[in-house]
Amino acid sequence: MNIQTLGHASLLIKKKNKPLLMTDPWFFGSSYWNSWGLKRYPTKSNLKDINKVKFAFITHEHKDHLHPETIQKLNKKIKYLIPNFKHNNVKNFFKDDKSLNYKILKKEKWYKLDKNLKILYIPLWRDDTILIIRYKNKFILNINDAYPNKLILNKIKKITKLKKLIILQSYSPASLINSIFLNNKRLIFYKKIFFYKKIEKVCSFLEANFFIPFASQVFFMRKDSKWANSFSVKYEDLKKYWSNKTKLLPEYSNFDLDNEELIKNIHKKNDKIQINKIVKKIKSEKNYFYNKENFSINLKKKMSSLRIFLIFLFPRGLVFSFSDKNFKFKYLPLNDTLLKDKFNKENYSINIHAPYGPVHECIINNFLEDVGIGMFTKINVKSKYYGGFSTYIFFNVLLPLAEHNHLSSIKRFRLWINNSISSMF
């Protein structure tokens, strides 16, 4: 049995060269409005293996993990295994496409995929999951871009204790943590070593034998997102900092689980033809017409639904401005008012500045959280610490809860609370 990492957050497990399981397939094109590209695109040989795989597990719904273009191009015989989330977004994606074969798995229950291979997932509060794969007396822990707390780690340790453990986890920031500005100066909250330390703590606590760099194999290619490449934590940075008993394996590893050794892996460098096609697509895309009035109605509706929280987070208001449009909106939570253009442009708590198209799509589709992930968004605040804190709470706590309908009723909120608590014990 061997495991191979491909694309960005894709793990491929093969038994005697027979593909059995993969995770989070993204193998074609780009993600987040042509902002994210893969560092390495799969070879033709890789794609043959991928299309022969029996099962594919989806950890969560972010576009770099649930990639529509890739899923449409893959073999329709693949059976997708999806977590039983309390929201319906992932379920509806597969339900709406009659050509896709899928199964909803119950949380924290072992599912046998082959004679010596079974899986179990642990749900997390942000509607992400940690996938645990057991092969004989070895465990593979796919943490992807989740950051489990101590209670979750304790739970995992009880399962994997005294067994060989391989951890795969993201190690580079994929949020707007480096997109916050004060007085036109970028605020730096964490240095690269901070993200390594988080990995080191997990590996040490779980007494992992191996760590495979994972879910960070992207580069940013839009003109307005290329800046983020210099803030990415790279494999070379991991090697520089690594001082852990856990053995660091290369990115894009092909690892023999039985003999615990690396298999020679032929990597395909960036496919220049494919990259050039994506770049050409970015340049050729016109600024399509969007209904401004429809946008403002939906923006007001969304902000009003969050008003009670926004009063405390952004008492002076939220300004939405656009890098490719000359109009602006300002929402005042204190009196539940949306202003257009005619307001003091400097009197605000937060200014969200991004291309209009992505913001429009996110407001209409009720997924504003994604605007923060695209790396083309600039957040202007009025104070370093409260501005950074309130921005983090808004994009990483409030929006995920609201956009998955966990705040839609007291009953739904209690269900989310109970599910989150039960996952930790």
Tens of pLDDT along the chain (425 residues)? 999 999 999 999 999 889 999 999 999 999 999 999 999 999 999 999 999 999 999 999 999 999 999 999 999 999 999 999 989 999 999 999 999 999 999 999 999 999 999 999 999 999 999 999 999 999 999 999 998 999 999 999 999 998 999 999 999 987 899 999 999 999 999 999 999 999 999 999 999 999 999 999 999 999 999 999 999 999 999 999 999 999 999 999 999 999 999 997 665 666 666 777 777 766 655 555 567 778 999 999 999 999 999 999 999 999 999 999 999 999 999 999 999 998 888 899 999 999 999 999 999 999 999 999 999 999 999 999 999 999 999 999 999 999 999 999 999 999 999 989 998 88
Q: Which of 117, 122, 144 is closest to 11 using CA atoms?
A: 144
In sequence order, the 6+-apart residues with CB closer than 8 A to the CB of 83 are 58, 59, 60, 90, 104, 105, 107, 121, 123, 129
Cβ of 387: how many Cβ atoms within 10 Å?
20
pLDDT at residue 292 in the model: 73
CATH topology of domain 292-423: Nonspecific Lipid-transfer Protein; Chain A (3.30.1050)
Q: Which two tokens stand for residue 6?
A: 């491909």
Q: Which residue type is seen at 394?
A: F
What CATH number should be reported for the domain whose range is 2-281? 3.60.15.10
In sequence order, the 6+-apart residues with CB closer than 8 A to the CB of 344 are none
Q: Which residue type is seen at 145?
A: D
How far is it, in rounded angstroms, from Cα 52 to Cα 31? Answer: 24
In sequence order, the 6+-apart residues with CB closer than 8 A to the CB of 405 are 87, 412
pLDDT at residue 425 in the model: 82
Read off the pTM: 0.94
Q: Which residue type is seen at 326?
A: N
pLDDT at residue 269 in the model: 64
2-281 with 292-423: one CATH topology? no
In sequence order, the 6+-apart residues with CB closer than 8 A to the CB of 62 are 145, 370, 373
How far is it, in rounded angstroms, from Cα 345 to Cα 339? Answer: 11
**SS3 of 91, please?**
helix
pLDDT at residue 35 in the model: 94
Residue 153 burial by CB count (10 A; 0-12/13-18/19+): exposed, middle or buried? Answer: middle
Cβ of 93: how many Cβ atoms within 10 Å?
18
Q: Which of 49, 44, 50, 39 is closest to 269 using CA atoms?
A: 39
How far is it, in rounded angstroms, from Cα 241 to Cα 234? Answer: 11
pLDDT at residue 159 in the model: 95
> How far out from the chain centre does Cα 48 lie?
26
Contact 116, 136 (CB under 8 A): yes
SS3 content of the chain, % helix, strand, coil (to 5): 35, 25, 40
Contact 6, 42 (CB under 8 A): yes
Buried/exposed 51-81: b ≥16 CB within 10 Å, e otherwise = eebebbbbbbbbbbbbbeebbeebeeebebb
Contact 193, 168 (CB under 8 A): no
Q: Which residue type is seen at 179?
A: S
Domain residue ranges of the chain, discontinuous segments joined by +: 2-281, 292-423
In sequence order, the 6+-apart residues with CB closer than 8 A to the CB of 189 are 177, 180, 388
DSSP β-bridge partners for residue 391: none
Q: Are strands 210-213 and 164-169 parallel, antiparallel or unpaired?
A: parallel
Buried/exposed 250-261: b ≥16 CB within 10 Å, e otherwise = bbbbbbebeeee
Token pair 């989310």 in the structure block, residue? 416
